[in-house]
């Protein structure tokens, strides 16, 4: 009697097919789990950054670091460098999901063409894009255009100077200080720092296209000529984690929100600005919250 010592071709094909099906099911799950872990690490980075800002403010009369400060023979040195003594490791400013200069890091609400248009601009700041962070103490010296890594200051909420009360943007800016944290009315609902893509600027997260209150000169300390320009600047938002962004709010806490939330709540970009008149805030229901 003959005994079979192996598998038939059909049996092997069935096993291979089963393995292929299982792989197709499990690989996306593994990828999601890996990205969730990176999102958690990014949130930890932001919590450390938020704590560092609070510690800095305690040492500097309740003021956060300047958005940027021009250092002679260097150029603009952004806010992150002044937090270095409080975080110890400057790599905390690099998100683990940052890939460099990629259209995929930009907002999904914009077209792929809009996002791809900024890839060359990002590479112009430094080939490493969102994975590069400027360190004034580095040897050899690094270009300032490396910026603050994967995170940017809220470019709409004035963080590098205080607007002259009652005179608006056209009058320019007054003393070069950060707005005192104690003067921010809606600190837990006002964005301080968010993830960036560097597709238009080496630092700064800017207003979403839904912030129509900023169109025209206005008195918000943050204005745009039209909605098209709002779209152009929104490309700098870094949407890296499951369709969302990790934020640091002005009370120092960090949280992750979906891009849709930011589009629905553009007031989070300027709600706490004490220089904005009440009627300006009322345009987007930011009063009495």
The residues spanned by each domain of the chain are: 22-282
Q: Which residues make Cβ contacts (< 8 Å) with residue 276, sequence separation at least 6?
A: 219, 220, 221, 270
First to last CA, the chain: 86
pLDDT of res. 221: 62
| pLDDT tens, per residue, the chain with 289 residues | 555 666 777 878 888 888 888 877 766 666 667 878 889 999 999 999 999 999 999 998 888 888 877 777 788 888 999 999 999 899 999 999 999 999 999 999 999 999 999 999 999 999 899 999 999 999 998 999 999 999 999 887 754 444 444 444 444 444 445 678 887 878 898 899 999 999 999 998 999 998 887 787 665 667 788 888 999 999 999 999 999 999 999 999 999 999 999 998 888 888 666 556 666 666 655 543 4
Token pair belonging to 92: 């905390």
What pLDDT is attached to residue 37?
A: 87
d(CA 202, CA 121): 9
Strand order across the beta sheet in which 244-249 lies: 151-153, 191-195, 244-249, 254-258
**pLDDT tens, 63-99?**
888 887 777 778 888 899 999 999 989 999 999 999 9
Sign of the Cα pseudo-torsion (50, 53, 57, 62, in order):
negative
pLDDT in the model for residue 220: 61
The predicted pLDDT at position 170 comes to 42
Q: How far is CA 248 from CA 63, 203, 257, 258, in A?
A: 16, 15, 11, 14
Q: What is the pLDDT of residue 217?
A: 62
Residue 260 tokens read as 């849709």
Question: Which pLDDT score is estimated for 166?
Answer: 46
β partners of residue 245: 257
* Residues contacting residue 163 through CB under 8 Å, at least 6 positions apart: 169, 173, 174, 221, 275
């Amino acid at each position: 009697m003959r005994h079979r010592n192996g598998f038939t071709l059909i049996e092997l094909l069935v096993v291979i097919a089963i393995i292929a099906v299982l792989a197709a099911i499990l690989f996306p799950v593994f990828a999601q789990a890996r990205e969730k872990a990176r999102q958690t690490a990014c949130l930890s980075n932001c919590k450390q950054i938020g704590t560092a800002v609070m510690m800095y403010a305690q040492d500097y009369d309740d003021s956060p670091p300047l958005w940027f400060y021009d250092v002679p023979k260097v150029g603009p040195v952004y806010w992150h460098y002044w937090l270095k003594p409080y975080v110890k490791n400057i790599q905390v400013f690099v998100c683990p999901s940052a890939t460099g200069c990629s259209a995929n890091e930009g907002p999904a609400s914009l077209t792929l063409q809009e996002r791809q248009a900024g890839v060359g601009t990002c590479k112009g700041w430094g080939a490493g894009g969102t994975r590069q962070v400027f360190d004034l103490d580095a040897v050899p010296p690094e270009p300032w255009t490396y910026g603050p890594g994967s995170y940017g200051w809220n470019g709409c909420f004035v963080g590098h100077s205080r607007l002259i009360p009652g005179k608006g943007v056209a009058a320019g800016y007054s003393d070069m200080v950060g707005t005192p944290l104690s003067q921010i009315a809606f600190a837990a609902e006002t964005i301080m720092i968010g993830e960036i893509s560097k597709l238009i600027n080496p630092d700064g997260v800017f207003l979403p296209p839904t912030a129509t209150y900023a169109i025209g000169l206005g008195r918000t300390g943050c204005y745009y000529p039209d909605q098209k320009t709002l779209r152009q600047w929104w490309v700098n938002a870094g949407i890296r984690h499951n369709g969302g962004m990790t934020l640091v709010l002005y009370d120092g806490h960090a949280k992750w929100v979906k891009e849709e939330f930011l589009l629905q709540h553009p007031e989070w970009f300027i709600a706490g600005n004490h220089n904005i008149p009440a009627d300006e805030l009322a345009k987007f229901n930011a009063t009495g919250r």
